[in-house]
Structure 1
Amino acid sequence: MLIVLPVDGSSYTLKAAQVLVHHARLYSEPPSVVLFTVALPIGTPLARAQISKATLDDYYREVSAQALAPAEAVLKDAGLAYEARDGVGDPAEQIAAEARRLQPDLLIMGTHGHSALKGFVMGSVASKVVASTTVPVLLVR
């Protein structure tokens, strides 16, 4: 079983990682897990053109590492192996694209994250992902 856990470092994605660990115990074999985080692009294309590629890459790598760290700690503590991946762009679009690429059996994600103020009942990223993917999605509050 392949499970993708989109993370942004928020308390909601930490809870989603804890739910993943809990559910992993229900399977006869540990699932394959991919942690996926998306960094928002810096500024405008014109502004990015003024920054070296190496500087941008370093920035995105640092942002990704910070977002991945809480979920990585939960999975490591549980002894659950994972692969970490990252992207840059619109989080909902990138998560849906990664789901199309990987074709996981399940996406587990928090209902709100760093953009929690944008969504009222359910976070805007979560609702967009649910609307744009055919993969089963488990939403965690």
Structure 2
Amino acid sequence: MRIAKIIDTTSVVINAGEDDGIKKGDKFQIIGKKGVEVLDPETGDFLGTLDDLKATIIANTVYPHMTIAESEKHKIPGMGNPSTLASTALTQGMFNSIPKELLEPHYVHEDLNVDKTQITGSFKKSDKPIQVGDLVVKE
């Protein structure tokens, strides 16, 4: 399998899909083109290569012949709930101005170290109306 397209810094397209046995949630490693060769110290025989691991990605949307995969998510801790913050002598008025996403933990995708000149984007939400005959795909 290969990277077929770089959508953005967290999403790529793989050139394999459902017909190749890929399922949503499958994990993949992106490997560099050339790893370090390992030789047996006694015989000099070639044992294999230590691959250059670039990233781990997870299948998110699987089509018959391609898959959109995303970087792993990492948990960002929140500031805590308002009752906990109250013990630090903050006033109730201040709680109303703190965005909810700062109070609660949330997850963000790790940026992949992609060649930014190869980002082509895709999958912008369409402003076109839904019509009879439009394709519907199960997630």
Q: TM-score range by the shorter chain?
A: under 0.3
Name whichever structure is richer in strand by fraction. Answer: 2
Instruction: Select the structure of larger CA radius of gyration.
Output: 2
Instruction: Name the structure, 1 or 2, with higher relative contact order (CA <8 Å, separation 6+).
Output: 1
- Relative to its length, the structure with more helix (as a share) is 1
TM-score (norm. length: structure 2)? 0.25
